[in-house]
Structure 1
């Protein structure tokens, strides 16, 4: 349960008495003698209650109430009043004050009012958190597309990890969306309003790597004109995304390890340590521990980076998502290029599902744009590597059932009629493909 209370009163004896009562009852108390001081320091979404005197020099309690209400209408404010201020306090309650206590009041009266206010505040904040999580889930569904079981699991993992202050290692093939996942981990977490800095470790020449990452002072090396802030320092409070981390030079791996351990950096040419607060998200194609065993990567750094690991499935492992993704990329390309989105024939759809997509989502997006431009059709592959006829048929079957569920908004009878399947057979196929009727009830399609 919440237990934070801010007390605002210009009379020191009252502040001290209230603090003593509340502290002995297990409350966390902060004291202010002026409303202006309180407003400057009360945090957004304050998890507690404001207890304020009405008559104070400068901004009085009613003005403080009005300003707090403007910031957060659900923040409980309890007013402390003299006898002559009771009618005024009643009016203030109509304007949003939670309660008022007439001086002198007993500790029991104060504690009772505070506990009721804190219970209400806890419910409000819990409700907000639930709404925010639901909003985040919807936004994430519309960003990391796909309704395959692996993508549903990935979105749940991203939503959970976005809230945690831990380093994350993302593993996936070229074009599988590693930077997008890193961006989601940042955008849906508490660091969203701070910088997101992406660094491709394979694209920086080794001799410039340290300066890029840590910055430099003027004259630190030949050509270093003026002071430069490095990527790590620039990202203070936010996230650094280190793509292709396996390409980082060994000498810089030692320094990055020290940064992670000590949360400090030193610019090239400087002896001064600078405190930084960054979250590290790294991405790699190979297994870093395999790289460490081969002597190409530091094992201790691999463990530091891999507090949590996300594996991005290649497109060939989630073929049922291909039609949805291709349609999405086609619509985006058509809107951007001022053209009509193409309608795929059954043969073209078969080609999409049979291709191995070595470039993954990036290759699929490129194919969709080329289709919109009329340059060629979707890529085809006569004998996709590792894909039997049965696997291709399974992917196509999942797509057909999902499309029917989407069109009929989860109406099982309508889907049975369209696909000419008995209910038991449809249920078995839906279970095998990870399809749940409830996911299709709210709208034309479950975004994914």
Structure 2
């Protein structure tokens, strides 16, 4: 009836719990049962697909306190309270405070099913409205943030849209300047967590002695300079998203503690024995291949495999040259608005130089070039000699062809037949272009069957 939606039933009376669960299941509803509110709470997160059905009288945290905790996580989750006759006044007060409904004991099976069904209908409607809003926001936001008409950028936007609605941890791999923090912010801002904090921490920008305190926080007196309690980045990101940039530089000792937090979703501040529950999505960003780092024992393999849930590879700018004109115009308009200038036309000679440049600094470098252009720094915007002549059209075509062929060979691990198919050229033409452009087979690991005629097998 309600695919993917479930009821969290909380009641400490075994007989009542069993009877209510059976009644709901016979009505075709999915039910998870719990004895206490404390047991149920870890299963409730932002965007939870279901409702809570709880007795008011519970050991420890009662039903009204559970209601408040659920509302703090996601106010759109309906909570139905089960009350004894003497608790009706309390239930009415709770409804004024946000409870969806209450069911008075003793109740008929029809009454409990009717209350649960209406609450599930409300939850299904609110989730659908949220989904539609996110789709509309995605079309405006992600497409206008992760710019570029290239196929690799279109694929990246699809992946970000797909992952944003989930709570899965994400790993971003890309060179410096490819926009890893921008992608992390897109994942956060187009997710159900967007109302909570987005917290970014550069692991390579902190001394080893401070990383642990920054991540986990500390109690007063935990070390010499700890004058008062400090909430760490993970705890501050509760309910939201934590970006760990340059995670490959995190000290090994801290990696062990981070792994435990990711597994248990609980942390201990330095100097404390109290465990603090945390609900956080972790986005780990790295410049290097973390799998290779793990194999070389420069990064903990167990942490790598814990983070290796969803991996997004951000392409360097030299591998998506068709995006350069659009990005340059976008950055030029931003710079013109920032400096109060009119964005002038981009000379053809400058576009030629942009297309031919290798972009070691990637998108970040292109943004700086656009700003220098708007500031009127002339032909030196690329930081090259102003007297250097622009490449001819034939030279530009050769440079682009060479970049595309090398990219295809890298993507297909040196398999020339697959690279030919991807580029839509015959093998004869492909090998002729390789020879003309000075592309060698060294380093691409071609298989013997892919070796061009007249070349020895590698």
> What's the TM-score once normalised by structure 2's chain length?
0.63
Partner residue of 1:224?
Answer: 226
Distance 1:24 1:180, change over 3 A: same
Q: What is the match of residue 251 of structure 1?
A: 253
Alpha-carbon spacing, 1:18–1:237, altered in 2? closer, same or farther (3 Å): closer
Give the aligned partner of residue 303 of structure 1.
305
**Match in the other structure for 1:163:** 165
Give yes or no for contact 1:199–1:243 (8 Å, CA) kept in 2: yes
Write the distance in 1 (CA, Å) between the matches of 2:20 and 2:260: 47
Q: Which residue of 2 aligns with 1:86?
A: none
| 1:390 maps to 2:398 | yes
Distance 2:397 2:358 in 1: 13
Deviation at 1:123, TM superposition (A): 6.9
CA distance 1:194–1:389, shift in 2 (3 Å): same
Which residue of structure 1 aligns with residue 356 of structure 2? 354
Per the alignment, residue 365 of structure 1 pairs with: 367
State the structure with bigger RCO (CA 8 A, min sep 6), 1 or 2. 1
User: Which structure 2 residues correspond to residues 274-313 of structure 1 after superposition, within 5 A?
Assistant: 274-313=276-315
Q: Distance in 2 between matches of 1:209 and 1:5?
A: 41
* Aligned counterparts of 1:290 and 1:192: Cα–Cα separation in 2: 33
Q: Unaligned stretches of 5+ in structure 2? A: 9-18, 32-51, 57-63, 82-87, 102-107, 405-422, 425-458
Stretches of structure 1 that go unaligned for 5 or more consecutive residues are: 7-16, 51-56, 78-104, 397-430, 433-448
- Taking the aligned partners of 2:151 and 2:346, their CA distance within structure 1 comes to 25
Give aligned pairs, total.
Answer: 351
> Structure 1's 30 and 254: CA in aligned 2 closer, same or farther, altered over 3 A?
closer
1-structure distance, mates of 2:290, 2:297: 10
Residue by residue over 1:16-35, the C-alpha shift from the partner in whole angstroms, topping out at 9 and shown as x without a partner, is x99997664235784899xx
SS at match of 1:330: helix
Equivalent-residue separation in structure 2 for 1:258 and 1:19 (angstroms): 34
> 1:183 maps to what in 2?
185
Structure 2 Cα separation of the partners of residues 48 and 394 of structure 1: 62
SS at match of 1:228: coil
Q: Normalising to structure 1: TM-score of the pair?
A: 0.65
Deviates more, 1:115-124 or 1:317-326: 115-124
Deviations 1:40-70 (A, max 9, x none): 77865558999xxxxxx98999xx89x99xx
Report if the CA contact (8 A) 2:53-2:79 is conserved: no
Q: Aligned partners of 1:288, 1:122: CA distance in 2, in Å?
A: 40
Cα RMSD (Å): 4.5
Q: What residue in structure 2 maps to residue 141 of structure 1?
A: 143
Alpha-carbon distance change, 273 to 46 in structure 1, aligned in 2, over 3 angstroms? closer
State the shift of 1:248 in Å. 0.8
Are the counterparts in 2 of residues 319 and 395 from structure 1 also a CA contact under 8 Å? no
1:153 matched to 2:155? The reply is yes
CA positional deviation for 1:129: 2.1
Shift of 1:180: 0.7
Q: Whole-Å Cα distance in 1 between the matches of residues 178 and 246 of structure 2?
A: 13
Q: Separation in 1 of the partners of 2:119 and 2:263?
A: 42
Aligned to 2:275: 273
Give the aligned partner of residue 325 of structure 1.
327
Check the 8 A contact 2:352/2:396 in 1, yes or no. Answer: no
| 1: CA distance, partners of 2:67 / 2:268 | 37
